[in-house]
Amino acid sequence: MTGNPLFYRQIEQSILRRVCISYLIGESALGQGYLTNGSFTSIAVQQIEEMDNYASLVKFMEQAFEWNILSYSLYPYYWGKRQEWVQLFQSDDDDAIFRSFMQAGMSRVVVTVKPGFEEAVMYFMATGKIWNGGQVPVIGDPLYLSIVDELKEQEYTVEETWETVLPTSLIGLQRGGVAVDEDGLPCGNGCEEETNPLVPNDHKLGVEPVNNP
């Protein structure tokens, strides 16, 4: 079997995407049908509450995750059911990645949450319910609350403070100023004592003019 590699990638991602959604909501939640029996020209959608709930679930699962950048690693056949080892191992294809996909006994999938859906996804993971916007619901799950609080704001405690002096090459120019009456770096021991090491300084940059007789 040969074909376009991009077509194979679409098959792989589509299957893994369905498996991920099935893992999150349960296999029985997929594949619901709310169309009335009819011909091609007389088909209709059942306008009932179950249909609305199912549509909300579909919308949330498809929009809350960045399925288009899904990434995955394929693990060998021996991580699958032992009864299927022979069938998996004998799967073959000219496309090496697709062959690994067909022979895989398990896979590891990484999919990111779409920006802006973080709290909605955490709410769904904690309760199994869909949050469609508005104020974040109050949830009694301590684990959920701790995760939300941690993501919103990191709190730190400063146990001790101290003063220090750093050298700098910055120079401030002004008409009048002060000089430091200390050796070494500015401030010196004046940081620890209640003395002011600063003295007036009116010196100006440049060479003083010389009066010729």
Per-residue pLDDT of the chain (213 residues; tens, 9 = 90+): 457 788 888 888 999 999 988 988 888 778 777 777 767 777 777 778 888 888 888 888 888 899 988 889 989 889 888 888 898 888 888 888 888 888 898 999 999 998 888 888 888 888 888 876 555 555 554 444 455 555 555 555 667 777 777 776 665 555 566 565 655 555 555 555 556 556 666 666 555 655 665
Q: How many CB atoms lie within 10 A of CB 20?
A: 19
Find all residues with CB under 8 Å of 56, minimum gap 6, and list them: 130, 132
Question: Tokens 């003019």 correspond to what residue?
Answer: 209
φ and ψ at residue 196, rounded to 5 degrees: -110, 105
Contact 57, 3 (CB under 8 A): no
Cα–Cα distance, 189 to 203 (Å, whole number): 25
Cα–Cα distance, 122 to 147 (Å, whole number): 9
C-alpha distances out from residue 69 to 31, 96, 116, Å: 24, 21, 17
Q: For residue 209, what are its two tokens? A: 């003019």
Burial of 3-15, coded b for 16+ CB within 10 Å and e otherwise, reads eeeeebeeebbee
φ and ψ at residue 194, rounded to 5 degrees: -90, 50
Q: What is the pLDDT of residue 144?
A: 46
Q: What is the pLDDT of residue 212?
A: 60
Q: What is the pLDDT of residue 8?
A: 87
What's the whole-model pTM score?
Answer: 0.55
Residue 176: alpha-carbon gap to chain centroid: 54
